[in-house]
Amino acid sequence: MKILLIEDDEVDIIAVRRLFKRNYISNRLEISQDPAKTLNQLQERYHQPSAIFPESLLILLDLYLPKMDGREFLIKLRSDSNLKQIPVVVLLTFEQERFLIEAENLNVSGYLKKPFTFSELTQLMLTLNQKKMFNWISELPARSFSNYYS
């Protein structure tokens, strides 16, 4: 599974990269700091007649971004018939918790409060896997997966 982090804050980007590296998460992590450009790229890629639905893509989305904020990105993503099923996890700060009600209306798959831990990320992925949003379990490091079932 590929994970697409849409985030403009360099400190947060470094923190997520470090979290992946320290916990041996081998999933491909792509970073985007421009949500408008990312949305265009997703539309170009998945609007081709031979395009395979992006079942193995998860988006981690910051809310406050340049050019296009996270809400606008979500609205456009969810209004696109080829992209609306992509799971999106919203990254929130303490001040942004009021967005959760609005996020439910935009079919957000989950949320994480920044800064989040490996345990929080893993628990969210297990929950999404149980909801059949994608198969994450096979890609979890064995040592971390066992923590939840021992």
CATH of the domain at 45: 3.40.50.2300
> Residue 2 pairs with which residues in a beta bridge?
28, 57
| Range of the structural domain that residue 63 is part of | 2-148
65-123 confidence digits (pLDDT tens): 888 888 899 999 999 988 988 899 998 876 666 776 676 777 888 888 888 888 888 88
The two structure tokens encoding residue 82: 């080829």
pLDDT for 139 beyond 50: no
Total domains, the chain: 1
Q: What is the pTM of this model?
A: 0.80
pLDDT for 10 beyond 60: yes
The band of 133, judged by pLDDT with boundaries at 50, 70 and 90, is: low
17-49 confidence digits (pLDDT tens): 988 888 888 888 999 999 999 999 999 887 776
